[in-house]
Amino acid sequence: MLSKNKIKLIQSLNRKKTRDELGVFLVEGNKMVEEVIRSGFQIELIACTTDFAEQHPEMNNLATELIITDNESIAKASLLQNPQDALAIVYQPNNEIPEVNLKNELCLALDFIQDPGNLGTILRIADWYGISHIICSENTVDVFNPKVVQASMGAIFRVKTTICDLTSFIKTSGEGGIPVYGTFLEGQNIYEQSLSRNGIVVLGNEGNGISDAIGRLVTQKLLIPSYSNHPNKPESLNVASAAAICCSEFRRR
């Protein structure tokens, strides 16, 4: 059984302050805990049912603590609407500025993404398109927010994320002719541009797009053109949809 204190601890991981103080985050659901097990991430606690434990003998000795319990007990601790058979408390990796070789590599930079579902989806898109690094501005929603973790469907264990001063990062890493892309309503049709295999693709805030400070560092402004013939034109795409289309365009040949 999960003790009252453990349940309290698990639920407190909904708060960024607690996550940061303890240096951990919460992972829920069978698939997600399977992802943790094979991720190489350091695990503080796994709580799961007998069935789940029997199906995953490889998790023995992997976590500092393993608690075999029942669904009722897991449901009590769970932040999910539909709790499953397993959850885990996982250590946050170091938040180091990554050594991204932007001469060969493409990375995403997030400028004030607010919605956890969007961030999780963007992680998943980056994972699919083989983008290994995402740089997040300091005002972007926390990647260890449980909603981000769940929406990432495991991508959080494969795509490295770093929180830093985005302006400095782009200024420093963008030196020496590294292209910096971003989508703008006044940009050039993405379908007609020749896109490089390296550089930084900036994605902007849900309501306001890319900030002025970051916009000034963008070397190539792109537009995903609308094909709408309706008299009332749509204003914009969701940022995760824009991320999907951009990644697709940068990778396809």
Q: Which residues bind a second copy (CB under 8 A)?
A: 35, 38-39, 117, 121, 124-125, 127-130, 132, 151, 153-155, 157-158, 191, 224, 226-230, 232, 234-238, 240-245, 248-249, 251-253
Task: Output Rg (C-alpha) for the chain, integer angstroms.
Answer: 20
Q: Shortest distance, CB of residue 156 to a second copy, whole angstroms?
A: 11
What's the 3-state SS for 7-62?
A: HHHHHHCCCHHHHHHHCEEEEECHHHHHHHHCCCCCEEEEEEEHHHHHHCHHHCCC
Contact present, 218 and 199 (Cβ < 8 Å): no
Distance (Å, whole) CA 135 – CA 133: 7
For the chain, the straight-line distance linking the first and the last C-alpha, in angstroms and rounded, comes to: 54
Q: Shortest distance, CB of residue 93 to a second copy, whole angstroms?
A: 15
Lay out the sheet containing 86-91: strands in order across.
24-28, 86-91, 43-49, 63-69
Minimum CB distance to a second copy smaller for 168 or for 189: 189
Minimum CB distance to a second copy smaller for 218 or for 242: 242
Q: Shortest distance, CB of residue 213 to a second copy, whole angstroms?
A: 26
Sole residue written with tokens 């973790």: 149
Q: Shortest distance, CB of residue 221 to a second copy, whole angstroms?
A: 18
Minimum CB distance to a second copy smaller for 89 or for 123: 123
Of 197, 198, 250, nearest in space to 222 by CA: 250
Minimum CB distance to a second copy smaller for 4 or for 233: 233
Minimum CB distance to a second copy smaller for 11 or for 132: 132
Q: Shortest distance, CB of residue 35 to a second copy, whole angstroms?
A: 7
What's the 3-state SS for 186-214?
A: EEEEHHHCCCCCCEEEEECECCCECCHHH
Minimum CB distance to a second copy smaller for 128 or for 167: 128
Q: Which two tokens stand for residue 11?
A: 């639920």
Q: Shortest distance, CB of residue 207 to a second copy, whole angstroms?
A: 10
Contact present, 155 and 175 (Cβ < 8 Å): no
